[in-house]
Amino acid sequence: MKKIRMNRLYLLFLVHMTLCLGACDRELETIEPYDVYVAIPKTDVTRRLVEGTDLVSKVFSDTSYVVVDGLQATEVRYLSSIGLAMKLSIFEVDLTNPNILIEASTPNNAPAFGRQRMTVQATFEDAEGHKVWGGVNGDFFDGTNGTPRGILYKEGVAIRTTFPDIYTTFFGILDNGKAAVGDRALYQTIAPNIMEAVGARATLVTDGIVVSQTDFTVEPRTCIGVSEDGNTVYIMVIDGRNFHYSNGMNYESLGKCMKALGAYQAVNLDGGGSSTFFVRNTPSFAADRFEIRNWPSDNGGQERAVATGLLIISKTQ
């Protein structure tokens, strides 16, 4: 009897296992595979980012537009390769266009220190024959009195020439119309030729090589780069601190993007809540002509008052 019971239990076990395996097979047939993302850019700028980095998994939106002759803007939203939402705003400035200028801005266009929103700073430089068509924030600064951390030049006048440490860098426009990015050593070589300049911090690209970093903090960022011949300037703002919209970027990823865009030298400007990207939306001088196109992280998208900035100006349009 005991043997018969054992045989029956064994048969029941075999039947149970057969049914379970069959059910599992049917369940496996219905399991959907993981989504496979393919990054398909629509613009040349985003194509460079997709082909030149490993950062983009899927492109959600991708638009380029001419702000004014010599100035192109691109706005792209994408899913990063580590699964984070991202929004980038990019200026590409053609300095071979004789009508395009990049100038440093300060509150009230004065050779003094303070804080003011970029869209207000722009109004003090905006005039017929000198129209501001876009801009971004500039150097890091003292939050109390607005003193920038690095150098500051306007119209060939040195307002500040300080390099407080070895990490301080700069972006400048020279008297030959070309742009330059570099450290204290380069500054000492070209200082007599600087017309416009703002300070910066971390070096992102040097001589076409992405610089290795030790700080991998992810934040909203503003960065700037220059082509090898000094004729093209690339400015990028990355929104952050907003999980479902855009998360920000670390320095090494910034460097990868700058190199992919075409920068031979690139540095990091002030970021966080200071990161600002605006364009002019009408040729007129309407009160609301300057439009913020990124999402500043302060107070749910409110523009921060900053110490310095960079304005892109047309002499004819």
pLDDT value of position 34: 62
CA–CA separation, 132 vs 277, rounded Å?
13
pLDDT value of position 17: 52
CA–CA separation, 102 vs 310, rounded Å?
7
> Is residue 294 within 8 Å of 237, Cβ to Cβ?
yes
pLDDT, one tens digit per residue, over 282-298 is: 999 999 999 999 999 98
pLDDT value of position 9: 46
Q: pLDDT means per 10 residues in the chain (317 residues)?
A: 48 49 48 72 97 97 98 98 97 98 98 97 97 98 96 98 96 98 98 98 98 96 98 98 96 98 98 98 97 92 96 94
CA–CA separation, 201 vs 137, rounded Å?
13
pLDDT value of position 15: 45
pLDDT value of position 52: 97
pLDDT value of position 298: 87
| pTM (two decimals) | 0.89
pLDDT value of position 174: 98
Look at the chain and count its residues.
317
Please name the residues in contact with 102: beta carbons below 8 A apart, sequence gap of 6 or more. 93, 95, 173, 179, 196, 233, 310, 311, 312, 313
pLDDT value of position 317: 81
Q: What is the dihedral of CA 70, 75, 78, 84, to 10 degrees?
A: 110
